Amino acid sequence: MKSRIATPVLALSFLLCASAAGARYAPSLAVEPRDPSSLTPLRIEVGVYSTDDPQIRFDGIVGNRLVFSADLIPLPPGLPLPPESLYTLTTEVPPLAAGTYRVIFSYRDGDDFFIQRSFRVHAPTPGLVFEQADGWTTSVGIDWKLRSGQTGSANGVALTDESGYFWFFAPDNAEVTLKVLDGRAFNGHWWVFLASMTDVEFTATVNRCPPPPIGAPCVSKTYRSPQGINRNFLDTLAF
């Protein structure tokens, strides 16, 4: 795989708007993180298979569009197709304002083709919310406290439908990672894993709430890491 890195980036799965007649493999488009906030830098990777370096370019941000392009060199008719390699370009993009954006990757392969994907940047939220497979909702919030007495709420960033991380002071410095797992097939309980990378005091509150038709109260668990101590929590009996 041939790769290049451009600066200022983002990663996306793609919507194929037209299929390239001369390419045997579909182009790719990825955006990271999966659920960015307006405080989170983005990382985008686009890729395309080609017999020669297509010189993928990041053309910039135009309105709500992040534009990439490349030039594929078509082979003369009748010639056998030589081996193709995947060429990628990874670009780092500073945090964007909350809103909906599109990544567009256009290229020529005898004709014009492009792929695109929309993604949303949300306003920063202090916690994380997960929709569980059983219809219940799990919300997780973390409050921190410094030795000076200063307090604050951690900002959550979702990574998957069951995991994420929290940062306290800077969006590029994760302090606590989180997983909420369905362990009922093993011991009949939901599991909560908190991995700490800080000795700052924090309290994590996990609430599991039923869907409205059930009408039952939420259940809550609290996990506290004292000042000056690094503590992890592996709770396989959480709920």
> Are 149 and 209 in contact, with CB atoms under 8 Å apart?
no
Reference 157, options 29, 64, 32, 11; nearest CA is 32
pLDDT attached to residue 16:
36
> Are 45 and 55 in contact, with CB atoms under 8 Å apart?
no
Q: Which residues pair with 220 in a beta bridge?
A: 207
pLDDT attached to residue 13:
35
Q: What are phi and psi of 219, to 5 degrees?
A: -115, 150
| pLDDT tens for the 239 residues of the chain, in order | 555 555 443 333 333 333 333 445 678 889 988 778 787 789 999 988 888 888 899 999 999 999 999 887 666 677 777 787 888 899 999 888 888 999 999 876 555 677 888 988 877 767 888 888 888 889 999 999 999 999 998 999 888 889 999 999 988 899 999 999 999 999 999 999 999 999 999 999 999 988 876 667 889 999 999 999 999 999 999 99
**Ranges of each domain in the chain:** 2-121, 127-235
Model-level pTM? 0.56
- Please give the distance of CA 208 from its chain centroid, rounded to a whole number: 23
| DSSP letters for 182-221 | EEHHHHSEEEEEEEE---SEEEEEEEEE--TTT-PPPEEE
pLDDT attached to residue 234:
97
Upstream peptide bond of 33 is cis (omega within 30 degrees of 0): yes
- Residue whose token pair is 């960033």: 157
Please tell me the distance from the alpha carbon of residue 217 to that of residue 168, in angstroms, as a whole number: 30
Q: What are phi and psi of 63, to 5 degrees?
A: 65, -120
Please tell me the distance from the alpha carbon of residue 128 to that of residue 50, in angstroms, as a whole number: 41
